[in-house]
Amino acid sequence: MEFDYIIVGAGSAGCVLANRLSSDTKKRVLLLEAGPEDKALSLKIPAACLSNLNSTKHNWAFQGEPEPELNGRQVQHDRGKVLGGSSSINGMVFVRGNALDYEGWRQSGCEGWGYADVMPYFKRMETYSGGEDDFRGIDGPLHVHRAEPKEPLALAFIEAGKQAGYKTTDDISGYCQEGFGVFDRTVFKGERWSAARAYLDPVRSHSNLTVVTHALVQRVVINENRATGVIYQNEKGRLVSASAIKEVILSAGAVGSPHLLMLSGIGPEDHLDSMGIDVKADLPGVGQNLNDHPDFVLKYKCLQPVSLWPKTKPLAMAAAGVQWLLTREGICASNHFDALACIRSGAGVEYPDLQITISPIAVDDNWAPLKEHAFQIHVGLMRAHSRGRIELRSNDPADTPRIFVNYLQDQRDRELLRKGIRLVRELVEQPAFTNLKGDEIFPGPDIQSDGDLDKKLNTHTTTQWHLSCTARMGAATDRHAVVDACGQVHGFSGLRVVDASIMPFVTNGNTNAPTIMIAEKLSDVILGNAPLPLIEAKTWKSGNYEATQR
């Protein structure tokens, strides 16, 4: 059980690392995953996303702590527990983020993470169905499908944006993020294209790569500030020791990686002491700086029979399933997110901070379809000011950590979500929706004042499942930074973190694509390869943002 590299977590980042590191046939790589293989049919069917989230077979389904600003509600944080991690159960949405996100990373002390630095890795990782240009790649392992909206609701959404005075964009992950446009999704030939499909499957036969599932890592073994291996519990409940000659790499995600660091004695000293853990290093930033994208949903009756509701009835679902099994086509081959808008909440906002998404079906609080023709529109807050934390529940590795996101703790987040709700209400009053939009089902036309909207925010704000930033990058002089710009844990050798937890702050959009990019970029660092040549691609920004909202 001696390897050159031990990767903990076979999620979006871990699969990339397993692929790239095992490409050096002289290096032995161990990939450990707490969940099972990704063989279930539901993990292949794009439209089965909700069934995956409603099951715990492939989902950690972490129960968050009571949220003070949400009336003490506990929000469930779904995270993949399977080869491919969250990329095997997520909504398959592919958004790179805004160029200014990465410039912000660089300016915060993360040299080498500006937009020109990360662009070549975004291009390297994808095969884009929309074709190659200055921004998009066409020969990478990750297949990215560009949606072609045909459904009336998606088309009305984009047209209403134009009518409301917003710009349109040809590619939200290209030259211009701001505006109304179409979604990209990680789907290929009608199947989910997870990181496991893209990166792990092609190298499973490599003799220098060992993949162990049902492996719950207990802690990192550290000797004199050097990580030398891990202890994990195997499927039979036995403890196994594995040694790393070069590095232990934590890719367990924004929840799992800080959890393991703390279990290994690296984290806030007072907290570790209180848990009876021997402190290896007082790194107060471990588990702190938790970012997420809060989500609020508006629901509307649909005046025309164009929603997906009838197709969710048992017979229709069975027929759609048979169609998918035979042809990989039909409604089961899509995640049904075709159109979105990246907009600014107001004048003076430099780049988009709201993501507005339409879904051609409305669901209740338990994800069951409303039994009528209806649609919903999500308001996602991309740059929340509130910050949360992850803490140990105990020193038992089997005990899941405590997750406090602190949604809406900063009152500015409430103000921004209220603005988003009002902007959506303005949008659906445009002529394009005249024959489609019926009554507002939720929050309801009588909910207008700030106070009334706040009550609904308290009861219905939830997560977009984009937990991140809990082991953030930063300079060694930054006491709250956990890793350096190469992902190495401050004060230790042979120990690195490579996943969404190292983001300094969350990107402007869904986090799966940036997480894969991070692993692509740091795989070159680990292997000692020169970074890919910079791509100095000019991007669009409103020249009048200080004075106008659109």
pLDDT of residue 51: 84
435 and 304 share a domain?
A: yes
In terms of domains, do 170 and 221 share one?
no
Angle between the N-to-C axes of helices 411-427 and 152-163, in degrees from 0 to 180, rounded to the nearest 10:
100
Looking at the structure, do residues 228 and 136 belong to the same domain, yes or no?
yes
Residue 14 counted as domain residue: yes
Helix 115-125 × helix 512-527 angle, to 10°: 100
- Based on the domain organization, do 29 and 4 belong to the same domain? yes
Residues 286 and 369 in one domain: no
Domain harbouring 361, CATH code: 3.30.410.40
φ and ψ at residue 406, rounded to 5 degrees: 60, 45
Q: Which of 399, 426, 460 is at the close of a domain?
A: 460
Q: Looking at the domain assignment, is residue 311 inside a domain?
A: yes
* Number of residues that this document lists for the chain: 550
**Burial of 348 (C-beta count, 10 Å sphere; 0-12/13-18/19+):** exposed
Tell me, yes or no, whether 544 lies in a domain.
no
Per-residue pLDDT of the chain (550 residues; tens, 9 = 90+): 899 999 999 999 999 999 999 999 999 999 999 999 999 999 999 999 888 888 899 999 999 999 999 999 999 999 999 999 999 999 999 999 999 999 999 999 999 999 999 999 999 999 999 999 999 999 999 999 999 999 999 999 999 999 999 999 999 999 999 999 999 999 999 999 999 999 999 999 999 999 999 999 999 999 999 999 999 999 999 999 999 999 999 999 999 999 999 999 999 999 999 999 999 999 999 999 999 999 999 999 999 999 999 999 999 999 999 999 999 999 999 999 999 999 999 999 999 999 999 999 999 998 899 999 999 999 999 999 999 999 999 999 999 999 999 999 999 999 999 999 999 999 999 999 999 999 999 999 999 999 999 999 999 999 999 999 999 999 999 999 999 999 999 999 999 999 999 999 999 999 999 999 999 999 999 999 999 999 999 999 999 999 999 9
- Same domain membership, residue 497 and residue 439: no
For residues 183 and 236, give the distance between their C-alpha atoms in angstroms, rounded to a whole number. Answer: 43
Mark which of 460, 491, 520 sits at the end of a domain: 460
Q: Note the pLDDT of residue 507.
A: 98
Do 506 and 476 share a domain, yes or no?
Answer: yes
Q: Are residues 244 and 325 in the same domain?
A: no
Residues 419, 331: one domain?
Answer: yes
- CB-based contacts of 480: which residues, under 8 Å, 6+ apart? 284, 285, 288, 289, 472, 474
Residue (of 481, 471, 487, 476) closest to 519 by Cα position: 487
Name the residue among 64, 75, 515, 510 with its Cα closest to residue 293. 510
Quick one: pLDDT at residue 97? 98
Task: Identify the helix (H) or strand (E) that includes residue 6.
Answer: strand 2-8
Nearest to 232 by CA among 254, 256, 255, 209: 256
How far, in Å, CA of 195 to CA of 86, rounded? 9
* Extended strands (E) in 372-454: 374-381, 389-391, 402-404, 437-442
Residues 198, 519: Cα–Cα separation, whole Å: 13
- Assess whether 199 and 305 both reside in one domain: no
- Answer whether 213's CB lies under 8 Å from 80's CB: no
To the question of pTM greater than 0.85 for the whole model, the response is yes
Does some domain include residue 259?
A: yes
Whether 62 is in a domain gets the answer no
User: Is 181 within 8 Å of 340 (Cβ atoms)?
Assistant: yes
Q: Are 228 and 255 found together in one domain?
A: yes
Q: Which domain holds residue 346?
A: 148-182+294-381+408-460
- Only one residue has tokens 């507005």, namely 356
Residue 60 lies in a domain: no
User: How far is 100 from 535, CA to CA, in rounded Å?
Assistant: 15
The total domain count for the chain is 2
> Which residues have a catalytic role annotated?
466
Closest residue by Cα to residue 47 from 329, 353, 379, 295: 329
Q: How far apart are the first and last CA of the chain?
A: 58
How far apart, in whole angstroms, are the C-alpha atoms of residue 443 and residue 377? Answer: 12
Residue 403 lies in a domain: no
The CATH number given to whatever domain includes residue 1 is 3.50.50.60
Q: 116 with 170, same domain?
A: no
Integer angstrom CA distances of residue 316 from 37, 82, 312: 30, 29, 6
171-207 core/surface letters (b: 16 or more CB in 10 A; e: else): bbbbbbbbbbbbbbbbbbebbbbbbbbbbbbebeeee
Domain assignment of residue 7, yes or no: yes
Decide which of 439, 460, 481 is a domain's last residue.
460
Q: Cα 378 to chain center, whole Å?
A: 16
Looking at residue 54, its pLDDT comes to: 82
- The sign of the CA dihedral 158, 162, 166, 171 is positive
In the block, residue with structure tokens 């009838």: 310
Angstrom distance (rounded) from CA 295 to CA 265: 34
